[in-house]
């Protein structure tokens, strides 16, 4: 594509974007990258990259001028909700420039999402199951079996490098404004050590409890927690924090007449433990008089094992909801989720979900999963080989062929 010019903004904390850019350059495409902080620069510096070191109030004029002067045809980014990305997307739409968003896949573990416009709440995927079936009728069946092993060590190391680089941003990018509410790296590391110490101490009792409910020894519902600074909470829900939906769920569950049923809150595996969720949830359960029916579990817990005998899963908009649908477990989404639509998820009030959770139609689920696997994903990994090389190749091919999204 001789006339194509791909502009990369902030991406994953890895060399993924840089290597996609190299692949595109080899295909005779023009490529540019704008860095905003030291973490960005560490993963893509030198050729084809520039650094924006101005104030955020200067960013709109900068990106307007950059797009006009360089003939950009496509912008590629992770997190369309980030502060700098907001203005870039507005400028792109004014000029008819394509915006391609990517992130970890809705499907796990070895999928990368790639969509036009944005993800989840911004996705262009139809929220109508009949339209989903119509699209699926023209698609081949995708093999969903895992292909690549996505180990955590490299991801954690890259994340630590990126996070700790923010401590010296003031020297190189003095006006950089962080887009999310992640904790300072030293604080996060301190609390994560405490958390993992607790998990090791409580491992045997947690495993015993999970084994008990996983084998159907108790009737229970599951709430899949998310990271509080996640843009899926901050931007794609009406909640100000994670405590609000937790209290909403506890209060609603307290009105359930069946006193035998339990409510389990499963913590997000990447939560650092800065908030003591176990205490917060226990206090809310006590407030509404159901402290004997509410539980909190954390660390080393298989979601699939819990979903095996779960009466239903509640979430704000976590990808756990999609996994739950795949395993035939009823789902109630409290906010905007790509899979939240009639024919897949429970559409009634939360109070009614506890009494009559409806299992998802597996024909609808199969069609939905096949459509998003075919149209909104590629196989690959952001951090580990060989999945990284495969993902880079297919990502670049999709950009060049303009075969992105629905």
Nearest to 92 by CA among 71, 67, 56: 67
How many CB atoms neighbour CB 203 within 10 A? 12
Query: 252: Cβ–Cβ under 8 A, 6 or more apart, which residues?
Result: 350, 351, 354
Picking from 35-39, 114-118, 170-174, 295-299, which range would have the lowest pLDDT averaged per residue? 295-299
187 has pLDDT over 90: no
Residue 173: its pLDDT value, please? Answer: 97
**Residues linked to residue 30 through DSSP beta bridges, in sequence order:** 5
Structure-token match 């990284």, residue found: 388
Query: Would you call 186 helix, strand, or coil by DSSP?
Result: helix
Asked whether the predicted pLDDT for residue 247 surpasses 50, the reply is yes
Q: What is the tens place of the pLDDT at every residue in 38-90?
A: 999 999 999 899 999 999 999 999 999 999 999 999 999 998 989 999 999 99
Using the predicted structure, report yes or no on whether residue 22 has a pLDDT greater than 50: yes
What's the first-to-final CA gap in the chain, in angstroms?
21
In the chain, what are the helix, strand and coil shares in percent, each to the nearest 5? 45, 15, 45
* Domains detected in the chain: 5-154+376-401 (3.40.50), 199-368 (3.40.50)
The per-residue pLDDT for 191 is 47
Buried b (16+ CB within 10 A) or exposed e, 244-274: ebbbbbbebbbebeeeebbbbbbbbeebbbe
Instruction: Answer with the residue of higher pLDDT: 82 or 211.
Output: 82
Query: What is the pLDDT confidence band of residue 197, given thresholds at 50, 70 and 90?
Result: low
**Region 275-301: what's the mean pLDDT?**
91
pLDDT per position as a tens digit, 360-393: 999 999 999 999 999 999 999 999 999 999 999 9
Radius of gyration of the chain measured on its C-alpha atoms: 22
pLDDT at 120 over 90: no
Residue 160 is predicted with a pLDDT of 84
Rounded mean pLDDT, 138-158: 89
Question: Do 316 and 239 form a contact (C-beta atoms < 8 A)?
Answer: yes
Question: How confident is the model over 251-276, as pLDDT tens digits?
Answer: 999 998 677 899 999 998 877 777 89
Tens digit of each residue's pLDDT (9 = 90 or more) over 53-66: 999 999 999 999 99
> Closest Cα to residue 324, out of 312, 340, 336, 337?
312
Number of neighbouring beta carbons within 10 Å of residue 116? 17
pLDDT at position 300 is 62
Q: Which range, 205-214, 232-241, 286-295, has the best average confidence (pLDDT)?
A: 286-295
Is 240's pLDDT higher than 60?
A: yes
């Amino acid at each position: 594509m001789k006339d194509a010019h791909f502009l990369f903004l902030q991406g994953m904390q890895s060399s993924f974007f840089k290597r996609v850019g190299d692949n595109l350059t080899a295909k005779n495409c023009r490529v540019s990258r704008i860095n905003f902080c030291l973490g960005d620069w560490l993963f893509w510096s030198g050729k084809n990259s520039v650094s924006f070191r101005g104030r955020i109030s200067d960013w709109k004029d900068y990106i307007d001028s950059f797009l006009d002067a360089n003939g950009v045809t496509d912008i590629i980014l992770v997190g369309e909700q980030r502060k700098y990305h907001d203005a870039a997307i507005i400028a792109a739409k004014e000029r008819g420039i394509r915006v391609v968003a990517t992130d970890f896949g809705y499907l796990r573990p070895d999928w990368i999402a790639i969509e036009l416009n944005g993800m989840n709440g911004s996705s262009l995927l139809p929220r109508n199951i009949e339209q989903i079936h119509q699209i699926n009728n023209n698609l081949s069946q995708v093999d969903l079996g895992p292909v690549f092993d996505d180990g955590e060590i490299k991801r954690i190391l890259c994340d630590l490098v990126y996070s700790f680089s923010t401590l010296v941003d003031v020297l190189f990018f003095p006006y950089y404004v962080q887009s999310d509410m992640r904790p300072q790296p030293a604080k996060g590391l301190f609390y994560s050590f405490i958390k993992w110490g607790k998990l090791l101490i409580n491992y045997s009792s947690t495993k015993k409890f999970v084994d008990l409910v996983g084998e159907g020894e108790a009737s229970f519902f599951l709430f899949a927690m998310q990271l509080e600074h996640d843009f899926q909470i901050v931007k794609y829900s009406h909640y100000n924090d994670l405590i609000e939906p937790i209290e909403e769920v506890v209060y609603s569950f307290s009105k359930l007449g069946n006193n035998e049923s339990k409510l389990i809150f499963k913590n997000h595996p990447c939560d650092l433990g800065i908030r003591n969720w176990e205490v917060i949830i226990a206090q809310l359960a006590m407030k509404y008089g159901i402290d004997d029916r509410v539980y909190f579990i954390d660390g080393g817990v298989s979601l699939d094992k819990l979903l095996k005998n779960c009466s239903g899963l509640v979430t704000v908009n976590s990808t756990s909801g999609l996994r739950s649908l795949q395993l035939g477990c009823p789902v109630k989404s409290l906010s905007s989720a790509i899979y939240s639509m009639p024919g897949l998820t429970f559409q009634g009030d939360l109070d009614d979900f506890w009494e009559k959770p409806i299992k998802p139609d597996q024909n609808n689920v199969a069609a939905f999963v096949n459509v998003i696997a075919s149209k909104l994903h590629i196989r690959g990994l952001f951090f580990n080989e060989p999945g990284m090389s495969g993902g880079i190749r297919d990502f670049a091919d999709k950009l060049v062929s303009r075969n992105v999204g629905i």
